[in-house]
A = this chain, B = another copy of it.
């Protein structure tokens, strides 16, 4: 069928259509404003939009609202096979007790920032995209991911997400 063709050249087709629409829009605007001289209004509008965007960007960039972590304990009747595997990882902080503190098991020593990164991972974002969202560099995210993998005792992001969801660390 033509589905394969469409699938293969989907983006090319989309790009073509988008370009056509954009050209049409430009033509329309040209016609629209050739009559009236709305230069000042357009200028003001552009300025307003630009600086509103700047303000939003600034606020998001500079304000780091405290991430309040709400901890809800939930009793689970079925001890998953992975839970014992978690224990040795947490045993770094509490090696004495054979059954470490529940909070340490659950949190695994994950910081708030690491959970944010984990959340991004779970949404299927790349490290670069997570970096952009959190306004930090790619290297920082890589450091965070490394520590997350360490603490969760996994080696790949897919495993981390799977485990984090299973442990209800993230939704």
Q: Show the binding face of A for B, using Cβ within 8 Å.
A: 3, 7, 11-12, 15, 43-44, 47-60, 62-63, 65-83, 85, 88-89, 92, 102-103, 105-107, 109, 112, 115-116, 119, 121-126, 150-151, 154, 156-163, 165-169, 171
Are A7 and B150 within 8 A (Cβ)?
Answer: yes
Expressed in whole angstroms, the minimum distance between the Cβ of A59 and any Cβ of chain B is 3
Residues of B within 8 A of A92 (CB): 168
- 20 sampled A-B residue pairs with Cβ under 8 A: A3-B109, A12-B62, A68-B115, A72-B73, A72-B168, A73-B74, A73-B167, A74-B75, A75-B83, A77-B78, A77-B80, A78-B83, A80-B89, A81-B85, A82-B85, A85-B166, A92-B168, A124-B154, A124-B156, A125-B158
Report the separation of the CA atoms of residues A73 and B141 in the bound assembly, to the nearest whole angstrom. Answer: 27
Residues of B within 8 A of A151 (CB): 7
Report the separation of the CA atoms of residues A106 and B68 in the bound assembly, to the nearest whole angstrom. Answer: 14
Residue on B with the closest CB to A55?
Answer: B55
Expressed in whole angstroms, the minimum distance between the Cβ of A51 and any Cβ of chain B is 4
Residues of B within 8 A of A57 (CB): 55, 59
Report the separation of the CA atoms of residues A92 and B89 in the bound assembly, to the nearest whole angstrom. Answer: 26
Residues of B within 8 A of A126 (CB): 156
Residues of B within 8 A of A47 (CB): 44, 47-48, 51
Residue on B with the closest CB to A3?
Answer: B109
Residues of B within 8 A of A88 (CB): 76, 78, 80
Cβ contact of A55, chosen from B54, B72, B122, B123, cutoff 8 A: B54
